[in-house]
Chains A and B, each alone.
Chain A
Amino acid sequence: MSVYEAVIGLELHVELATATKLFCSCPNEFGAEPNTNVCPVCLGLPGSLPVLNARAVELALRLAEALDFDVPDRSIFARKNYFYPDMPKDFQISQYESPILSDGRLEVDGATVGIERAHLEEDTGKTVHMGGGGRIHDAEHSLVDYNRAGVPLMEIVSRPDIRSAEQARAYVTELRGVLKAIGLSDVKMEEGSMRVDANVSVREAGAAEFGTKVEIKNMNSLRSLGRAIEHEIERQSAMLDAGERIIQETRHWNEDDGTTHGMRTKEGSSDYRYFPEPDLTPVAPTDEQRAAVRGALPELPAQQRSRLVALGVPEAAARTIVEAELTTYTTSATVSTATTADVANWVQGEVLARVNAEDADPEEKLPAARLGELVDLVAEGTISRAQAKEVFDQVWGTSKVPREVVKDQGLAQVSDEGELAKVIDDIITANPKESDAYRAGDDKARGKLQGFFIGQAMKATGGKANGQLLKKLLDDRLG
């Protein structure tokens, strides 16, 4: 058996976050009643003419800045001709030889993934197959909803620079973060606003030539993307081991049985008879347009992570926080660098759990400054971490202020050394056997007995004793 290396390229389709469709002023919205967001242009009625949405061009220029794309002086649209009822015109307006962006790149965990091109095109309508179990092959007829026809899409095509399923997932995760940060799309894979197809081939490790590539479709989550690629790598490796030839084809991922299966061969590229769209003028971005976009570009995920790490947030926490779009919340809650790591811990723990469970804006539920105050209460020794959790539960979603909750409920921990010394002394006197064992014990025995003494002290103080101080006092006496 040979050792194989996978070569993977990914094609992403993302729906742009515009108010209207790409070539007409129908609303671009998800979930409307079928065929209510339609007009003569997106229905392809005779005499109607498309006009390009300015916002789509602006979003493309933002992407150019974010992924270091070249912006050609001019790009044109093309008609992709095919007969399928998901497009009423019997063609889809796309870009072919002359995309709006070319030759970009994205850093993914220290490696650079090249991006060949990104182009604008219109989405197709939604088809439901009736009869025969809802499958196109056995259907009796189909029903079509054109609300999605004409919705703006950006297709982003990577170079075959990806070498594993894991790296493919990391690339999509990073790219999704960028697309979200620049406001290009809401990139919800489950709702179909981001779709990913993978081109996968394998070759003997070290070979210079690429193997025959297979395109896999129909992955609707990052997890299924990874699984589908892994499965395809195994399938192709096994075929090569058995001396079989890989056929260039499109395969469909089946989530239920975890395999890919071949689809019917589609019309080849030349059969689409691409030709320049005569009804749309070329796009020629001006220097002014590009400068305006450059000046207003939001901070990208990689920059957000570096900023958080520079503030003292651990790398893994920074990744979680940026992905959850809680960067601003975290930095607003951070008053001093001494407590940054603590703040990050709260954000990626309690705050993120609440945000996910309640689909809430954290700033509305607990203003960042109040989270900072809560962290400070622990840092300065006023309350314990366990008490802080209690306070958090009380201030989240209410207008209560942490410091006042602590005061009102007498939650403050006892940090008076004299008072706690007396408590410890009493416990030592009352438990001579444990005290002797502590004096004589090794670290392990002491660790266990420490729990006993601290527990007793907590009981005596109603859980309010400062744990750190108790440990110190115990050590002073028995250590």
Chain B
Amino acid sequence: MEHVARLARLSLTDDEAERMVGELSGILEHVEDLAAIDLDGVPPTAHPLPLVNVLRADEVGPTLDREEVLAAAPDAADGRFRVPRILDAP
């Protein structure tokens, strides 16, 4: 649970973690039900709709105004997004 929470950058209280363990177990058990079905020769479904090749032409369209974009960011400098240090101190 801790590992999954860390990958998603979620900080859970002990109570929350305990509740999530219960919920996740329920979900996993539900998925386990699939093991009871014979799925030989059934391809995995990545997409529920029978659509393929939805493509667009390689033509340039409008872009956003930089000032507007950066105004929505918590911090900016020098025309770029400013982010806190990426790696923890060693």
Contact = CB atoms under 8 A, between A and B. Distances in A.
Interface of A: 18-20, 24-27, 33-40, 43, 51-57, 74, 76, 81, 83-85, 98, 127-129, 136-137, 139-146, 264, 267, 271, 273, 276, 278, 280-284, 286
A51 B56 contact: yes
Contacts of A145: 79-81
Interface residues of B, number: 34
A34 B78 contact: yes
A38 B87 CA distance: 26
Contacts of A55: 57-58
A381 to B, nearest CB: 54
A53 B85 CA distance: 34
The SS class assigned to the A binding surface is: loop
Contacts of B60: 19-20, 25-27
Contacts of A36: 63, 66
B79 A276 contact: no
B90 interface: yes
30 contacts: A18-B58, A19-B59, A20-B59, A20-B60, A24-B61, A25-B56, A35-B79, A35-B80, A36-B63, A38-B63, A39-B63, A43-B69, A52-B54, A52-B55, A54-B56, A57-B55, A74-B52, A81-B7, A85-B83, A137-B87, A139-B85, A141-B84, A142-B83, A142-B85, A143-B77, A143-B81, A144-B82, A271-B7, A281-B51, A282-B47
Given A20-B59, A43-B64, 10 more contacts: A38-B63, A38-B66, A53-B58, A85-B83, A141-B84, A142-B82, A144-B82, A276-B46, A281-B54, A284-B53
A35 B79 CA distance: 7
The SS class assigned to the B binding surface is: loop
Contacts of B85: 139-142
B64 A40 contact: yes
Nearest to A289: B53
A126 to B, nearest CB: 9
Given A38-B63, A40-B64, A276-B46, A146 B55 contact: no
Interface in B1-59: 7, 9, 46-47, 49, 51-59
Nearest to A85: B83
Contacts of A84: 86
A225 B59 CA distance: 36
Nearest to A37: B63
A278 B56 CA distance: 17
A149 to B, nearest CB: 11
B54 A51 contact: yes
A429 B66 CA distance: 87
B77 to A, nearest CB: 6
B27 to A, nearest CB: 15
A281 B85 CA distance: 36
Contacts of A40: 64
Interface string B65-83: 0100110000001111111
B58 A142 contact: no
A276 B83 contact: no
Contact of B7 (A43, A137, A273, A280): A273
Across the A-B interface, give the 4 residue pairs with the lowest CB-CB distance, nearest first. Answer: A25-B61, A55-B58, A276-B46, A143-B80
Given A20-B61, A26-B63, A283 B53 contact: yes
Contacts of B80: 34-35, 128, 143-145
Nearest to A32: B63
Nearest to A56: B58
A19 B61 CA distance: 10
A276 B87 contact: no
B84 to A, nearest CB: 6
A283 B59 contact: no
A283 B58 contact: no
